[in-house]
Amino acid sequence: MLDRKQILNKKRIVIKVGSTSLTHPNGKLNLLRIDKLVRVITDLHNAGKEVVLVSSGAIAAGAGKMGIEKKPDDKIKKQALASIGQAELIRIYDKFFEDYNNTVAQLLLTRDGIEETTRRRNAKNTLIELLTMGVIPIINENDTVSTDEIEFGDNDILSAMVTSLINADLLIILSDIDGVFTDDPRKNTNAKLISKLTSEDDNIEKFIFSSKSSFGTGGMTSKLAAAHHCFDHNIDMIITNGSNPSIIYDVLDGKDVGTYFESKKSVRA
Ligand code: GLU
């Protein structure tokens, strides 16, 4: 019996992709990978799934455009690069999705916006309407007015909040690491990938071992904060490696890839 059989029925899915999964090590956008991601999402869409994409990569795209090789430490510079890069990022998504006959929408959200009742309702209504229209919403944090994600999360927490906002069935976080390990895999070759964690597992923070890449922000800390949000809202979440976006098919086939955060609802199913 497939251990993750609950995943097979997931219909409304949020896919979060981090900056490092969208860029080459030199920080420039990895167009082949973005194209593959777009192709997989289109395929899921054609198969009747509703997909929302939460994509970082604006700072990286802005840095690439301005010929800056290392993400600046200065917050205001990051905000400026994000505003330069967001236009470029969405232009590329729009072009690639259009090649596959899909329409996209850009939504720039903030965590505190989602927490405030009226704005929360507006964001939810817009997202649901877009899904009803068969459009792929592409979300990033509005880095001009909020620095939550550029300072702490690289959109991990925002994606979890969007997942609960629209009552989605599953959050897939595509990262530059295969999932959660028993120890830091970059330092300990005996570190094992953890296949499943549940809200009953105490202190999942013990699996935070640092290591951030130059264009990502949150590392495992913000991913586990996202996992807590999903546990609290009874939503399943998976962290897996986004270097080959076809892994999304394996995730949705219930295969044992990445780390599965099984919600209480799925444990009971
Ligand atoms: N919103 C930011 C971006 O799109 C998040 C990335 C980050 O913090 O590295 O670039």
Distance in angstroms (rounded) separating the CA atoms of residues 214 and 81:
15
Residue 140 CB less than 6 A away from ligand 1: yes
Q: What percent of the chain has pLDDT over 70?
A: 95
CB 266 within 8 A of CB 5: no
Summarize pLDDT for 128-158 with one digit per residue, the tens: 999 999 999 999 999 999 887 777 777 999 9
Number of domains in the chain: 1
User: With left for phi above 0 and alpha for psi between -120 and 50, is residue 101 left, alpha or beta?
Assistant: left
Give the mean pLDDT of 200-219: 68
* pLDDT for res 214: 46
Ligand 1 centroid, distance to 142 Cα (angstroms) = 10
Residue 262 CB less than 6 A away from ligand 1: no
Which atom of ligand 1 is found nearest the CA of 61? 10
Residue 141 CB less than 6 A away from ligand 1: yes
Which is nearest to 153 in space by CA: 247, 244, 227, 90?
227
Contacts of 3 (CB under 8 A, 6+ apart): 195, 196, 254, 256
> What does pLDDT average to over the chain?
91
In this predicted structure, the answer to whether residue 176 has a pLDDT above a threshold of 70 is: yes
Q: Categorize the per-residue pLDDT at 219 as very low, low, confident or very high, splitting at 50, 70 and 90.
A: confident
Nearest residue (by CA) to ligand 1, atom 5, is 154
Summarize pLDDT for 45-65 with one digit per residue, the tens: 999 999 999 999 999 999 999
Total Cβ atoms within 10 A of residue 260: 27
| DSSP for 25-66, written as a single string | TTSSB-HHHHHHHHHHHHHHHHTT-EEEEEE--HHHHHHHHH
Structure tokens at 191: 């570190």
Residue 17 CB less than 6 A away from ligand 1: no
Tokens 């068969």 belong to residue: 134
Summarize pLDDT for 23-34 with one digit per residue, the tens: 988 888 999 999
Ligand 1 centroid, distance to 79 Cα (angstroms) = 9
CATH of the domain at 111: 3.40.1160.10
- Domain range for 78 is 2-268
CB 140 within 8 A of CB 108: yes
Which is nearest to 183 in space by CA: 218, 207, 213?
207
Which atom of ligand 1 is found nearest the CA of 153? 8
Distance in angstroms (rounded) separating the CA atoms of residues 126 and 202:
37
Ligand 1 centroid, distance to 81 Cα (angstroms) = 10
Distance in angstroms (rounded) separating the CA atoms of residues 227 and 224:
5
Residue 59 CB less than 6 A away from ligand 1: yes
What pTM did the predictor assign?
A: 0.94
